[in-house]
Structure 1
């Protein structure tokens, strides 16, 4: 039986990274009489490189402070503006690698919170819980962009069934040929080059959900991913996470009432969680397979 010996070189430092998480930034593009525009972001930065000394001896000579990373986000918003989150993330990631000889890879993750103008000038309304996302990896293998959307809540009142499933002694769920199908979509998609049109990809997800007669949420997931690949030829693969927001018919018989699929109880948990990736049936180039 082996035991740990003090002073023995039993351990080594594995993969590591550091950065500044969740820098909140709101940029107002002043439009004068034409009205203002708001960009509301949550930016996280992670860096990798020759950083072992900081972990092993506390030598910080290769460490760019995370506070500096935060300040860079704010400065870039002023100096370069924010056109789209993919471009902003790429600009930041490329800067950290180019400006720091000890940093070899950078990942910038951004969440964008949508606002709609109320009066066309200076007043805005937060547009629900849906969030646009982008993650940019930059390093020796080039730049890779993964875009997406989270919290996209969709519901259809019919055109959904669920039956023919496995039953054992613990099964109580009844089969149904007419049910509410609801989910909160978390989706990401990646390309080999320039980012895909996010609005077009989102529209494809919504259209597929609405237009698919569903016999299972798994089937709907595949149709949603396939629609993005059809509509956005530059996309290599789509990853989807679809929690099943269950809606159960309320038994109104004790009150002498029928319930022809009209009154439901919306359960938030526990919930089914359906996840999967839809990709093109071709070899993905090695240079775009790497992940941070």
Structure 2
């Protein structure tokens, strides 16, 4: 009799465990470079500002200890418990926030960008007069900004120390170094490489001067960082952002509930998945 009760209990637990969650958490696999990550905590996305990427905006950055984002109140800092630790506002006109390999924050608006330390102390202000006032902005080395507009087929490399455009590269086409559709994402890494993504082909890699290096198969890239696809909602079709094997890994995944932003901390100990309404934290 006790044996039968045990079998029934195990069957019940199995049924409960297999029951579909009506509001599923994003899931990751733990066989890649992020091995050992497990779900830590979820909390509301502040005013739905960080993770809403319907316009492919750069509105979130991640350090080893904090999440940085932009919403209607300004630039804010969250800890991994969901508490707002710092607020710098308002954010009128701010289009992007980026973090370099040294932990400095780059906050871009329509005419200038400011550089802050992780505590929101202002370090530098640079006037770019619209040179980098584009839809997609990234960093590819200590003094260089890469940018493009969502209707364009070329990328600008801008040096803010000399206030000059170093190079413009890219054109319409189907060959290496060309783009079959308008660019949907551009970013860089700490060693100068530039990554350009479109909807029509694999992400392409360029050196710091815009010379074509190679391509990245999206699936292989996602496997490298996470051991498999990241999924949320109905599907998990991933596109890349910033595959830098030395200090950061970030990509976007299109799902049934819209775009989600997935960012890995520089020490690879924390993964943050931001949706339009929630932020989910995974830790080692």
- Superposition TM-score, scaled by structure 2 size: 0.26
Relative to total residues, which structure has the larger strand share, 1 or 2?
A: 2
Structure of larger gyration radius: 1
Relative to total residues, which structure has the larger helix share, 1 or 2?
A: 1
| Larger RCO (CA under 8 A, 6+ residues apart) | 2
